[in-house]
Amino acid sequence: MNLSNLNKNQKNAVEKIGLPVLVFAGAGSGKTRVLTYKIAYLINEIGLPPENILAVTFTNKAAQEMKSRVFELVDKDISGINIGTFHSISASILRREIHLLGYSNSFTIYDQQDSRSLVKKVMKNLDLDLKQIEPKSIQIRISNAKNSLQSVDYFKNFTDNFSDKKFYEIYKSYQEELKKCDSLDFDDLLLLPLKLFKEFPDRLEKYRDKFQYVLVDEYQDTNKPQFEFIYSLSHKHKNIFVVGDDDQSIYGWRGADISNILNFREAFGESHIEKLEQNYRSTNNILQAAWSVVSKNTNRSDKKLWTENGSGELINLIESFDDRHEAKQIYSKVLSFKDNLNQVAILYRTNSQSRIIEDRLRVGGIPYQIIGGVKFYDRKEIKDILAYIRFLVNSNDSISFDRVINFPPRGIGNTTVSRINEYYNQSSKSYIEALNNLDEIKLGQKQKSSIKDFLKVISGYQLKINNEKGSEIVKSLISDLKIENYYLKQKTDDAIDRWNNIQEFINGIEEYEINNPSSNLVDYLEEVSLLTDIDKWNDSENKVTLMTVHSSKGLEFDNIIIAGLEDGLFPIIRTFEDDNIEEERRLFYVALTRAKKVVNISYAKSRRQFGGAPTLSNKSRFINEIPKDIINFNLINGENDYKIDKYNINRKFESKTNEQIQVNAIVEHKVFGKGKVLKIEGSGENSKLTIKFYNNVVKKLIFKYANLKLIEG
């Protein structure tokens, strides 16, 4: 096999056989090339059958790219090769084996929205106040527990305080309800294979024999369940090859454990470690900036990227008066790249930052796409149709039942649904069986008639699942339900858009069937459940891409603009409390290394937060960690004619000066509440006030934007 396209270190990694291999692959160092060449080498040179290879990554997009590259390098049929995401590989195992754990092979996969709906339902069943205990926080805590391999029983003994006791009750009921619904959440997809391997050792041996060589992409992002999955399959034969970069470990908040990559040798024993430090993507100035920041971290492997691409442009620093001015300056920057908008990405720390930038781009007629907005499959009208399909294949799915029973409206209210659910919960019947016993449920005749009509439709289509194409079933179902009439009779643009989205959804099913001719509706539901935003990203259209830094990982652009580089925003304020500044540095490192040619870093001196008045901002400490000699400061205050007041014409202030407000005065802010003035800098309407509010939050505010009410002074 010709390996001349690889550099020395890449070639060493590919040819190393007989030991576990860890490849530290820096940003832009060709990790995908190494992975694909390794797979091809195993097939072409070692003679390993494709079906005995397992390669896992984190996005469908990365998996598809890997498959296509391997196909180009191998002359043999590789249709049997196992390349996919952790979740898709786990799902495929469970489809074959989950009956051993008491589930059906047509189980439903709940997305985040469905999972949260189930948490709410469980909490209502437990008579808990959703205002006192937020379902979202409970869902996050359950997910964190699962990612830490903490089962329900783990919390059994932590019930001394009210919060822990209630969490245990909710977590326990949530898992019981999932089981009864014959459903799994995203985290269960990772946990249940471990349960399967533990309780049925013969199945573990089966998959160890099948997956004789295991490869892992983005290994630094693995959490505890993912590590245990990989370890279970590979620690016996030690044929494991992992690629990752600890400097790009940015998902600690969702359970990723950086120690998995840093302690690889401790886990797998004698290993070969290879470092890929030559960068093929970025200029030297970009790499120098990135390294200068990330090298401040102590919990990292020793490596430094280098390139033959030349110095390139300096890092452009953009200073703005406020967030509106920042959006204007970003727009001006984008204009200079208008012929290659698909090579421009605007990155930010939080999704909320996008709105003001979007507004400016929209006004200026700049086309853009957002990664991380409302996903197509999360739209209400699409969730409704998906719920019907899910209920057809799994009539125990309570979340789907709740969603479809009165859509389109058929006169079945919440009271009726509650009575049906109560009967369902007390029986061992499926919803279909429960609905066939309406006489045992206290319902009005009108409601019974509507439910019988609903049941007739569902039962009829359930008979068709195994005999007709999924797309035909869905089209016919939508027609019988008169969903088109439901939307079009509303005669609103929103309703028409929703109907158009449903038609696009049907097109998607038909397209899936063309690409997967032996598939069924269960297969399609799984495909949709495992999609991520980035899987649908398209760089062929001439549009600017807007996304969070987290979403940008794995992508590259000629030109990058990083917005909102202020302490408290990037790095995010909670890192000061959690002492997790190192992950924020890694996140900034990821942002910088998305760029091939040009990096613009931007901050605003003041920014509106929580819908309130502008508060003073300090530029991010990360800016100060970049050497000054590679920063272009020429854009600082580049628009002296900018008038900050023009965006505040309608603001009314208590006074034009701050003469009435002195140090120690008690004031009230409409967002932060009451507080005490600790310090005043300057005079007049542009003076800066340091205020300690009663919740112990200290803010610096510009007087003329603060709209303070003097309480006493």
What pLDDT shows up at residue 275? Answer: 96
Structure tokens at 145: 């527990």
String of DSSP letters for 644-669: GGGG-TT---S-SSSTT--TT-EEEE
Q: What is the pLDDT of residues 49-74, one digit of tens each?
A: 999 999 999 888 888 889 999 999 99
Most confident of 183-192, 361-370, 456-465, 643-652: 183-192
Which element (helix H / strand E) includes 681?
strand 673-681
Report the relative pairing of strands 698-702 and 688-693 from DSSP bridges.
antiparallel
Q: Measured between alpha carbons, how far is 398 from 125 in angstroms, rounded to an integer?
A: 13
Average of pLDDT values for 453-459?
87
Q: Measured between alpha carbons, how far is 627 from 620 in angstroms, rounded to an integer?
A: 14
What pLDDT shows up at residue 253? Answer: 79
Of 33 and 663, more confident: 33
Which element (helix H / strand E) includes 395?
none
The answer to whether 241 and 213 have CB atoms below 8 angstroms apart is: yes
Who's near 663: CB < 8 A, 6+ residues apart?
677, 678, 679, 680
Nearest to 598 by CA among 557, 648, 656: 557
Identify any residues that bridge with 615 across adjacent strands, giving them in sequence order: 607, 701
What pLDDT shows up at residue 143? Answer: 92
Structure tokens at 210: 């099948």
Phi, psi of 128 (to 5 degrees): -95, 145
What pLDDT shows up at residue 657? Answer: 44
**What b-and-e string marks burial along 446-459, b requiring 16 or more CB atoms within 10 Å of the CB?**
ebbebbeebbebbe
Q: Measured between alpha carbons, how far is 543 from 346 in angstroms, rounded to an integer?
A: 11
State the number of CA atoms in the 13 A half-sphere of 412 facing the CB.
25
What percentage of the chain reaches a pLDDT higher than 70?
Answer: 91
Neighbouring C-beta atoms of residue 428, cutoff 10 Å: 8
**Residue type (1 letter), 651:** R
Residue 626 clears pLDDT 70, i.e. is over it: yes
What percentage of the chain reaches a pLDDT higher than 90?
Answer: 47
Neighbouring C-beta atoms of residue 94, cutoff 10 Å: 22
What pLDDT shows up at residue 468? Answer: 84
Give how far Cα 415 sits from Cα of 127, 179, 442, Å.
16, 25, 10
Q: Measured between alpha carbons, how far is 402 from 399 in angstroms, rounded to an integer?
A: 5
Neighbouring C-beta atoms of residue 592, cutoff 10 Å: 27
Catalytic residues, by residue number, are: 31-32, 217-218, 248, 594
What pLDDT shows up at residue 643? Answer: 47
Q: Where are the beta strands (DSSP E) in 479-636?
A: 544-548, 557-562, 595-604, 606-608, 614-616, 631-632
The answer to whether 277 and 304 have CB atoms below 8 angstroms apart is: yes
Q: What is the pLDDT of residues 197-252, one digit of tens each?
A: 999 999 999 999 999 999 999 999 999 999 999 999 998 899 999 999 999 999 88
Q: What is the pLDDT of residues 291-326, one digit of tens each?
A: 999 999 998 999 999 999 999 999 999 999 888 899
What pLDDT shows up at residue 375? Answer: 67
**What b-and-e string marks burial along 333-367, b requiring 16 or more CB atoms within 10 Å of the CB?**
bbeebeeebbbbbbbbbeeebbebbbebbeeeebe
**Residue type (1 letter), 130:** L
- In this prediction, residue 536 has a pLDDT band, given cuts at 50, 70 and 90, of low
